Structure 1
Amino acid sequence: MKKIVLAGGIALSLIASSLFAADKPLRLGIEAAYPPFAYKEASGQIAGFDVDIGNALCAEMKTECQWVEQEFDGLIPSLKVKKVDAILSSMTITDDRRKSVDFTGKYYYSPARLVMKAGSEVAADFSNLKGKRIGVQRSTTTDRFASEVLAAQGVEVVRYSSQNEIYLDLISARLDGTLADAIPVDEGFLKTANGKGFAFVGPAFTDPKYFGEGAGIAVRKSDAELLGKLNAAIQAIRASGEYQKIQAKYFTFDIYGD
Structure 2
Amino acid sequence: MKTMALLPLSLALLASCATAFAGQTLDRVTEKGQMTGVLMESYPPFSFLNEQNQLDGFDVDVAKAVAQRLGVKLKLETPSWDVIAAGRWSGRYDICVCSMTPSEARAQVFDFPVEYYQSPAVIVVNAKDTAIASGKDLSGKKVGVISASTYEAYLNKDLVIEGAPLKYPFDNVQVAPYDNETVAFQDLALGSGVRLDAMVTNLITARERIAQDPRFKIAGNTLYAEPNVVAIEKGDPQWSARVTEVIDQLKADGTLSKISQKWIGADISQ
| TM-score, normalised via structure 2 length | 0.80
Gaps of 5+ in 2: 158-166
Per-residue deviation, 1:66: 1.4
Superposition pairs for residues 74-113 of structure 1, below 5 Å?
74-77=83-86, 79-113=88-122
Q: Distance in 2 between matches of 1:164 and 1:28?
A: 22
Per-residue deviation, 1:34: 0.3
Q: Amino acid of the residue matched to residue 31 of structure 2?
A: D
Partner SS for 1:222: coil
The residue that corresponds to 2:77 in the other structure is: 68
Superposition pairs for residues 215-230 of structure 1, below 5 Å?
215-230=228-243
Gaps of 5+ in 1: none
Q: Distance in 1 between matches of 2:63 and 2:269?
A: 15
Q: Distance in 2 between matches of 1:71 and 1:247?
A: 25
Does 2:223 align with 1:205?
yes
Partner SS for 1:90: strand
Q: Distance in 2 between matches of 1:135 and 1:19?
A: 41
Does 2:257 align with 1:249?
no
Number of residue equivalences: 245
Call closer, same or farther: CA 1:122–1:110 in 2, change over 3 Å: same
Partner SS for 1:76: helix
Q: Deviations over 1:72-106 (max 9, x none)?
A: 11113354332211212111122221122110221
Q: Distance in 2 between matches of 1:79 and 1:250?
A: 31
Q: Amino acid of the residue matched to residue 233 of structure 1?
A: V
Call closer, same or farther: CA 1:104–1:77 in 2, change over 3 Å: same
Q: Distance in 2 between matches of 1:27 and 1:239?
A: 24
Per-residue deviation, 1:151: 11
From 186, 200, 203, the equivalent of 1:179 is: 200
Q: Distance in 1 between matches of 2:261 and 2:218?
A: 24
Call closer, same or farther: CA 1:77–1:145 in 2, change over 3 Å: closer
Which is richer in helix? Answer: 1
The residue that corresponds to 1:144 in the other structure is: 153
Call closer, same or farther: CA 1:101–1:157 in 2, change over 3 Å: same
> Contact conserved, 2:189 with 2:215, CA < 8 A, in 1?
no
Q: Distance in 2 between matches of 1:133 and 1:19?
A: 47
Q: Amino acid of the residue matched to residue 233 of structure 2?
A: R
Which is richer in strand? Answer: 2
Q: Distance in 2 between matches of 1:19 and 1:134?
A: 44
Superposition pairs for residues 159-198 of structure 1, below 5 Å?
159-173=177-191, 174-187=195-208, 189-192=209-212, 195-198=213-216
Comparing 73-82 with 217-226, which one deviates more in the overlay? 73-82
Q: Distance in 2 between matches of 1:104 and 1:45?
A: 28
> Contact conserved, 1:93 with 1:106, CA < 8 A, in 2?
no
Q: Distance in 1 between matches of 2:121 and 2:203?
A: 5
Q: Distance in 2 between matches of 1:71 and 1:41?
A: 19
Partner SS for 1:139: coil
| TM-score, normalised via structure 1 length | 0.83
Q: Distance in 1 between matches of 2:170 and 2:132?
A: 15
The residue that corresponds to 2:164 in the other structure is: none
From 23, 28, 31, the equivalent of 2:31 is: 23
Q: Deviations over 1:105-124 (max 9, x none)?
A: 21111110001134635466
> Contact conserved, 2:135 with 2:223, CA < 8 A, in 1?
no
The residue that corresponds to 1:156 in the other structure is: 174
The residue that corresponds to 1:120 in the other structure is: 130
Partner SS for 1:191: helix
From 56, 80, 103, the equivalent of 1:47 is: 56
Partner SS for 1:52: helix
